[in-house]
Structure 1
Amino acid sequence: MQYLVAVDGSEPSTEALEHALEVAAQMDASLTVGYAVEPRVLVEDSGEEAPTHAQVGDRIYTENIEVAEERGQDVLDDARDRASDVGIDIETTLLYGDPVESIVEYAEQSEIDGVIVGHRGLSERVEMVGSVAKGLVEKATVPVTVVK
């Protein structure tokens, strides 16, 4: 079995990784950890993410792709360290674009048997199930495990 666990550095994604490591160990499965690189939209002079384009007008900009990749690689390096601590070898990959679309596409192209994701990510919005987890459940062609 080959599983893909989607991470973004949030606590729920870390819990999903921990669950995926347990599954991989119990089932002698292969595990790939993926991070979707999507540059953040920021407001000039504040360093904060902008809620909408309309609210910030000309002060909005998109962070440099290299910064987004570096952030993703840091998250993947942490995942590799966690896996190593429990004696599991993992593959890691940076995916590009919308997290739902890039995860679904990778799962289809790489013959992934299942996706594991945290119930919510870094968004500050209060939701029982985050938009990425919900989108994966709706669009993935393989089983999706949402970890809470």
Structure 2
Amino acid sequence: MEILVPVDGSECSFRALDFAIEFARRFEGSLHVVHVTDTETDATDDILRRARERLEAAGIADEPEVSTDVNLEFRPGERVGKDVLELVEERGYDHVVMGHHGSGAISRAILGSAAHTVVEEEVVPVTIVP
């Protein structure tokens, strides 16, 4: 099983990564971590470092990846969700594990939700970690 885990630096995305690490162990899956952003910054480096530390502690050899999308200005959550779906299609992932901030309907309407976008498409099984 090939598992994709998008991380955005939030605690819930790192809880999702921790869950995915255990999930991959139990089901003998391969894990791949991606951070979607419009520009790489020091924050990007920190997110990748934190992800790498968790993977190394678990003995997983994956190198977290950055996916750059310059179109994140409008409804960034929805755009990130579409980027995740494109990765699933291009690379053939079998499962996505991602965090969800639990934002309300108003926030989701304004910003969009990456998790909601991925789940709605019904392309691949998705585990949402709050």
C-alpha contact (below 8 Å) 1:73/1:94 kept by paired residues = no
- TM-score, scaled relative to structure 2: 0.79
Runs of 4+ in 1 over 3 A off after TM superposition: none
C-alpha contact (below 8 Å) 1:114/1:144 kept by paired residues = yes
Residue segments in structure 1 that go unaligned for 5+ positions in a row: 39-64
Structure 2 CA distance for partners of 1:15 and 1:132, relative to 1, 3 Å = same
Deviation at 1:23, TM superposition (A): 0.7
Match status 1:85 vs 2:85? no
Identity %: 36
SS, match of residue 64 in structure 2:
strand
**What is the aligned residue count?**
116
Match status 1:116 vs 2:93? no
- Equivalent position of 1:26 in the other structure: 26
C-alpha contact (below 8 Å) 1:31/1:91 kept by paired residues = no
AA aligned opposite 2:64: T
Cα distance between partner residues in 1 of 2:83 and 2:15: 21
- Equivalent position of 1:105 in the other structure: 86
Match status 1:76 vs 2:48? yes
Greater radius of gyration (CA): 1
Q: CA RMSD in A?
A: 2.1
Cα distance between partner residues in 1 of 2:120 and 2:85: 10
Q: Which has the higher helix share?
A: 2
C-alpha contact (below 8 Å) 1:33/1:92 kept by paired residues = yes
- TM-score, scaled relative to structure 1: 0.70
Q: CA-to-partner distance for each residue in 1:77-114, whole Å, 9 max, x for gaps?
A: 21111111122222422112231111110111001001
SS, match of residue 16 in structure 2:
helix
- Equivalent position of 1:13 in the other structure: 13
Q: CA-to-partner distance for each residue in 1:28-78, whole Å, 9 max, x for gaps?
A: 21100011112xxxxxxxxxxxxxxxxxxxxxxxxxx342xx422321221
